[in-house]
């Protein structure tokens, strides 16, 4: 089982980001973890091996990534997957037909699609609630509730869940609190401090940070839960390849530097947008006008680079999306380059239109992922794109 090296927990975040999970390679002392491109491992004799038998079960490059992110999250065990949705799909395999899961009503569209179009047909039941209000989570608990799943801040509405309150409810219900920490990253938010049992990510986003791979990772503290997840990781087999693991690991080395830059740019871009469009149209937890700004300051140490803006109509949204030059019109987020998107037709197209409307993911909404470019250039780009608005 991929457990962290305990001594990695001694360092501060930046030291862990660079070093945790990695040791000089034993053959030549290479400081960088090699990409172990192998499917199997030679055994010295029948039943005698070095702890590695077949690469679906274990791969040293993947293990280095798993240990690194587990240390950053303040967890004990990491499990990397071939994508973020592959990761949450494997987490859901902890449960069985008849089990009940409470899920935040605004989660990434692909997470909702997995639950609504696949897993509910396999006997799991889901109740979607507005997890901004802990009472609603509590009211949804039944005798069959096995998990409470939240994304905070959410994609794209930037809604927050009070993790401490959700953690209390989960504990009393005997359910697991499962937190998608993709937007905040462990640099800005540490869900285990508030009672999370499983913290997971799309590593495709900020952890990798360079938009050059797809991946997911789950981190846990509890040894029994880790043993169950390890079984699923091997038995269901949604594992990442070694090169993707290496790319993600290369990304986490600079996570703290990048997140500071995303946060700086995010705050300035949000302030510019609020000035231009009126703060009621700009959704960013770092703005005082965000209804959960106080909670954001309490449970997050930074606000990051994700901002949503209500443009009013699809035409106005299309104008901005069509005029940007530094921001690129594309799905995804969390890379060093700035991206802009239209959630209703892109990341959340798999959410039925009436559900999107009810949540407030309108045709006029755009979502910005502020990269780490020069903020003056980002603001000039927006100035040009918002001309006449
Ligand atoms: C918050 C969040 N969680 C999970 C995912 C799914 O991750 P992946 O695309 O790596 O499968 C995404 C993808 O956009 C996301 O934004």
Out of 3, 41, 52, 56, the active site residue is 56
- The CA 13 to ligand 1 mean position distance, Å, reads 24
| pLDDT of res. 143 | 98
Active site residue 54: no
* pLDDT tens track, the chain, 389 positions: 799 999 999 999 999 999 999 999 999 999 999 999 999 999 999 999 999 999 999 999 999 999 999 999 999 999 999 999 999 999 999 999 999 999 999 999 999 999 999 999 999 999 999 999 999 999 999 999 999 999 999 999 999 999 999 999 999 999 999 999 999 999 999 999 999 999 999 999 999 999 999 999 999 999 999 999 999 999 999 999 999 999 999 999 999 999 999 999 999 999 999 999 999 999 999 999 999 999 999 999 999 999 999 999 999 999 999 999 999 999 999 999 999 999 999 999 999 999 999 999 999 999 999 999 999 999 999 999 999 98
Between the CA of 85 and the centroid of ligand 1 the distance, in Å, is: 6
Task: Please report the pLDDT score of residue 263 as a whole number.
Answer: 98
Residue with tokens 């495709």: 204
CB distance 216 to ligand 1 below 6 Å? yes
Told to judge if 374 belongs to the known catalytic residues of this protein, a careful annotator would answer no
Question: Ligand 1 mean position to 157 CA, how many Å?
Answer: 15
What is the rounded CA–CA span in Å between residue 104 and residue 128? 5
Tokens 């909702």 label which residue?
Answer: 112
Residue 343: CB within 6 Å of ligand 1? no
The predicted structure's pLDDT at residue 1: 76
User: Rounded to an integer, what distance in angstroms lies between the CA atom of residue 302 and that of residue 286?
Assistant: 8
Burial class (CB in 10 A: 0-12, 13-18, 19+), 338: buried
Q: Which residue out of 109, 205, 213 has the highest number of ligand 1 atoms within 8 Å of its CB and is therefore the one to mutate?
A: 205
CA of 331 to the centre of ligand 1 (A): 10
| Cα of 29 from ligand 1 centre, angstroms | 35
Residue nearest to atom 14 of ligand 1 (CA): 332
Q: Tell me, using a 6 A CB cutoff, whether residue 214 lines ligand 1.
A: yes
- Catalytic residue, from 8, 89, 180, 381: name it: 180
Q: Which residues contact 62 (CB under 8 A, 6 or more apart)?
A: 2, 80, 239, 240, 242, 245
Annotation says 206 is catalytic:
no
Active site residue 108: yes
370 C-beta neighbours (distance < 10 Å), count: 28
**Residue whose token pair is 């104008």:** 319
Give the mutation target among 151, 199, 204, 368 for probing the ligand 1 site: most ligand atoms within 8 A of CB: 204
Catalytic residue among 159, 205, 267, 356: 205
């Amino acid at each position: 089982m991929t457990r962290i090296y305990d001594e990695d927990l001694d360092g501060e975040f930046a030291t862990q980001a660079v070093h945790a999970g990695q040791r000089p390679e034993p053959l030549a002392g290479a400081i960088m973890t090699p990409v172990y491109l192998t499917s199997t491992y030679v055994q010295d004799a029948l039943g005698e091996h070095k702890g590695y038998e077949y690469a679906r079960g274990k791969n040293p490059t993947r293990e280095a990534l798993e240990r690194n992110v587990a240390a950053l999250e303040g967890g004990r065990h990491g499990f990397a997957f071939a994508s973020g949705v592959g990761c949450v799909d494997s987490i859901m395999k902890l449960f069985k037909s008849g089990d009940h899961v409470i899920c935040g009503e605004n989660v990434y569209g692909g997470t909702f699609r997995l639950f609504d179009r696949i897993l509910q047909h396999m006997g799991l039941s889901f109740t979607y609630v507005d997890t901004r209000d802990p009472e609603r989570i509590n009211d949804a608990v039944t005798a069959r509730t096995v998990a409470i799943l939240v994304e905070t801040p959410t994609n794209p509405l930037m809604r927050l869940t009070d993790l401490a309150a959700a953690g209390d409810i989960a504990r009393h219900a005997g359910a697991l609190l499962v937190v998608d920490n993709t937007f905040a990253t462990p640099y800005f938010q540490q869900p285990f401090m508030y009672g999370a049992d499983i913290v997971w990510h799309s590593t495709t986003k900020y952890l990798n940070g360079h938009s050059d791979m797809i991946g997911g990772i789950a981190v846990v503290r509890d040894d029994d839960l880790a043993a169950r997840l390890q079984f699923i990781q091997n038995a269901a087999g949604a594992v990442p390849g070694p090169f993707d693991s290496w790319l993600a690991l290369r990304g986490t080395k600079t996570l703290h530097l990048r997140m500071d830059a995303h946060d700086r740019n995010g705050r300035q871009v949000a302030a510019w947008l609020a000035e231009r469009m009126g703060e009621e149209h700009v959704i960013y937890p770092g703005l005082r006008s965000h209804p959960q700004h106080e909670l954001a300051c309490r449970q997050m140490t930074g606000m990051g680079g994700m901002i949503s803006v209500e443009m009013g109509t699809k035409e106005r949204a299309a104008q901005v999306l069509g005029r940007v030059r530094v921001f690129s019109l594309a799905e995804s987020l969390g890379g060093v380059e700035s991206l802009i998107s239209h959630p209703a037709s892109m990341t959340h197209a798999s959410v039925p239109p009436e559900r999107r409307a009810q949540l407030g993911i309108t045709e006029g909404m755009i979502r910005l992922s502020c990269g780490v470019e020069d903020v003056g250039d980002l603001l000039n780009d927006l100035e040009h794109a918002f001309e006449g608005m």
